[in-house]
Structure 1
């Protein structure tokens, strides 16, 4: 009985020692990852001329083996309230997959080139700033009704809706109309470099999940015109060409996805 007790105590001590070692290893890995994220955030801020440190996340566990082989599986960069053309402020976002750090090191040398297997790039314009630009300060943006009722979460991997039939709701005072209305709006990109976001209203919406207010025929064209607009110079981070436009939450998002590119951090902010 005494022998069994000693064996159990010995096994318990071994298990405890292993558990402590695992916890220490996880803590070291986590702390190293946080430091790398901090260094990358500072590097992006300095290289792109941002006013503050962007949010950075290096994904995948454990972190240290990724750093040792100079290859990150995935990382995200998100800069909020960035000075941006036409609308004043916007959020810039980039998600990178399969990042080769051979020229940059895990702490990101300034000006180093990064080979990226897949790059997702976004400009996010919230309804507040878009509404100010359009002269509709109470603007609310929603995905097309069919997609709002669909549990799939949008038509792209990041949950962005399609570009046709978005619901814009607000008070179009520039049309001398002082009641909230809902308008169906299509989004598109135009221009030689496809950096101009075009908002094209297509009709007044009534019924459930809308402002449900009819517009007299004499006011219809003016009301629709209040929800139209052109936003030039919407250049995506790292100069990625736009591949989709849509809504997520109450934001309008321009997204571009490309494969097999080489970038530098100073290309994060384009305009």
Structure 2
């Protein structure tokens, strides 16, 4: 038993050392205010030394301000990385081949409310209000637009057409008579996905829990630590 405990401690220490180095490099190269939370897949960690590919690497940063865009939460997942033994030991990522990089941006009510100009915006899945509810292509929004005396609720569609992401009200609830057009205008929004802090244009937009997510993918790429952040080293 003591031998197993010792092996676990050593394995965890090696994983933490590599993860902390990746987090520190990402923070420095991408000029983040805080280091991301980094996790390297493959258990036990040292088994990665004997694999041709490390199954996964993830980095998550919360509540960061992206210049020219605003406040976001972001998660980057990399799948099937070809790491050298030196990179596994040190956590220094440079010219690492990987099969897939997925970037997810999450806008909560505060962040999305800034785009709409609604300070009390609440976001929810119109079909499943539980935090673990699955993704939906529609979103329920509740808030008080400028000029309104109380909150109103809309069900809006989230869509991607070519490179444009749109939020379009489909159903109005609790709207005072005569303010229907103003409500539709207040909750309508669009953005070119090229303006999002993502490596490629978004290929998916959805609501889950109390947030709106944007997602993009890159396949068969080469990465370093700066690719794990929504803020580019070149910004």
- Using structure 1 for the length normalisation, give the TM-score: 0.75
Give a deviation string over 1:18-61, Cα, whole Å, max 9, x none.
Answer: x1111101110011111111011011112222121111111221
In structure 2, C-alpha distance between the alignment counterparts of 1:22 and 1:181, rounded to whole Å:
58
Q: How far 1:258 sits from its partner (Å)?
A: 4.0
Q: How far 1:234 sits from its partner (Å)?
A: 0.7
SS of aligned partner of 1:22: helix
Q: Does 1:40 align with 2:22?
A: yes
1:157: which partner in 2?
none
Q: Is the 8 A contact 1:98 1:117 kept in 2?
A: yes
* Unaligned segments of structure 2, at least 5 residues: none
1:134: which partner in 2?
116
In structure 2, C-alpha distance between the alignment counterparts of 1:53 and 1:231, rounded to whole Å:
28
In structure 2, C-alpha distance between the alignment counterparts of 1:257 and 1:127, rounded to whole Å:
25
Indicate how the Cα distance of structure 1 residues 149 and 136 shifts in structure 2: closer, same or farther if over 3 A, else same: closer
In structure 2, C-alpha distance between the alignment counterparts of 1:235 and 1:68, rounded to whole Å:
35
2:149: which partner in 1?
178
**Map 1:100-119 → 2, pairs under 5 A:** 100-102=82-84, 105-106=87-88, 107-109=90-92, 112-119=94-101
Structure holding more strand per residue: 2
- Using structure 2 for the length normalisation, give the TM-score: 0.85
Q: Does 1:169 align with 2:142?
A: yes
Q: Does 1:243 align with 2:203?
A: yes
**Map 1:84-163 → 2, pairs under 5 A:** 84=66, 88-102=70-84, 105-106=87-88, 107-109=90-92, 112-145=94-127, 148=128, 153-154=133-134, 161-163=135-137
Q: Does 1:62 align with 2:24?
A: no
Q: Is the 8 A contact 1:103 1:114 kept in 2?
A: no
With CA pairs under 8 Å and 6+ residues apart, which has the higher RCO, 1 or 2?
2
Q: How far 1:67 sits from its partner (Å)?
A: 3.9
In structure 1, C-alpha distance between the alignment counterparts of 2:213 and 2:87, rounded to whole Å:
32
2:169: which partner in 1?
201
Q: Radius of gyration: which is bigger?
A: 1
Aligned pairs, number? 228
Structure holding more helix per residue: 1
Indicate how the Cα distance of structure 1 residues 76 and 253 shifts in structure 2: closer, same or farther if over 3 A, else same: same
1:262: which partner in 2?
222
Q: Is the 8 A contact 2:64 2:73 kept in 1?
A: yes
